Amino acid sequence: MTDASSAQALDTSSADHDRDGRVPRWRRRNPLTLVGALILTLVALSATLAPVLAVHDPLEMNPQRLLENPSRDHPLGTDEFGRDILSRIIWGARISLYVSACSVAMALVLGATLGIVAALYGRPLDDLISRVLEVVFAFPAVLLALGIVSLLGPSVRNVIIAIGVVYTPVFGRLARATVLSAKERDYVEAARGCGASDLRLAGRHLLPNITAPLIVQTSLSLSHAILAEASLSFLGLGTQPPAASWGTMINTGQRLIEFSPWVAVFPGLAIMLAVLAFNLLGDGLRDALDPRLR
C-alpha cells in the first residue's frame, strides 16, 4: 500500500516500442520481468486449477493431525485444525487474485473515467473531481480501507469496494495528468477540427494514448491490492474463516509462531511471491515504456 509508484508510472513520455515484431529489447535485457511473469503464471494457474492441484480439502479438519510438521503427506504441514496448509495456500491464491483483480478493475474504471472527464472538461468539473480525489488520497490506504470495511461489514464484496475506493485516486490523478498532456498534441486538435464528439475523442483518441502508464499502474496496484486484502483479512475484516485466505492464515499462525512456525511462514511466502511477481512485471513494463528510468 504505497503511493510513490504512481509518479513513476506516469513518467512514460519517451515510450520506445518495438515496431517490427522482434523480441522487445526490455525482455531481452530484463530477465527479472520474465521471472515475474513466470511466478505470476504459476500463481494464476494454481488459483485456476485449485480443485485439481490441492490434494486435500482446504476446509477438512483432521483432529489426529493437528499442527504436524511438514511431511510427505502434508508438504507444508498442517494447522491447528489439522487442515493441509499447502491446499489452503493454493485455494487462498484464488481469493487473493480475485479480490485484487476486482478491486483494481473498479479503481481503474472509476479513476480513469473521472480523470479523463476532469481533464477534458476543465473547470469547474476538474476542480470538483480533483478535490474529491485529493480528499480520498489524504487518508492513509490501510486506514481508509479499514474504515470502509468496518462500516460496511466484513465480507469479500466489501473488501473489494474498500480497496477499489482506496486506489481510485491513483488512477484518477494519473489519467488526468496524462490526458492533460495528450490534449495539447496535434492529433487531438485534428480530431476536434474534424468534429469528433467528446465521447469519441476520449474513447477513440485519448484512451489508447494513455493506456501505457495505466497498464504500469495496474500492475503495481495489483501488488498493493494483494497486500491490502491480506492486511484486512489478517485483522479479521476480510475473508472470514474457515475460508482459506493468506492473511487469515498468518493471523492464526502468528499466535502459534513459537512452536509451529510453518503455519505462518508459508502463507507469508505465498503473498510475497505474488506481490513480487506483480512488482517485477510493473518494473519491467515501466522500464520498457520509459527507458530513462531503467
Contacts to other proteins by CB under 8 A: 1-4, 7-8, 32, 131-132, 134-136, 138-143, 146-148, 150-152, 223, 227, 230-231, 234-237, 247, 250, 253-254, 257-258, 261, 264-265, 267-268, 271-273, 275-276, 279-280, 283, 292-293
CB of 35 to other proteins, least distance (A): 10
CB of 145 to other proteins, least distance (A): 9
Q: Judged by CB, which is closer to other proteins: 95, or 201?
A: 95
β-bridge partners, 78:
84
Q: Judged by CB, which is closer to other proteins: 40, or 202?
A: 40
Contact in structure between 170 and 6 (CB atoms under 8 Å): yes
Contact in structure between 237 and 26 (CB atoms under 8 Å): no
C-alpha cell at 141: 490506504
CB of 183 to other proteins, least distance (A): 24
β-bridge partners, 219:
none
Which amino acid is residue 293, in one-letter code? L
Q: Judged by CB, which is closer to other proteins: 188, or 218?
A: 218
CB of 272 to other proteins, least distance (A): 5
Measured between alpha carbons, how far is 125 from 117 in angstroms, rounded to an integer? 8
β-bridge partners, 84:
78
C-alpha cell at 275: 506481490
CB of 184 to other proteins, least distance (A): 22
Q: Judged by CB, which is closer to other proteins: 140, or 208?
A: 140
Among candidate residues 293, 231, 262, 232, the one with its CA nearest the CA of residue 83? 262
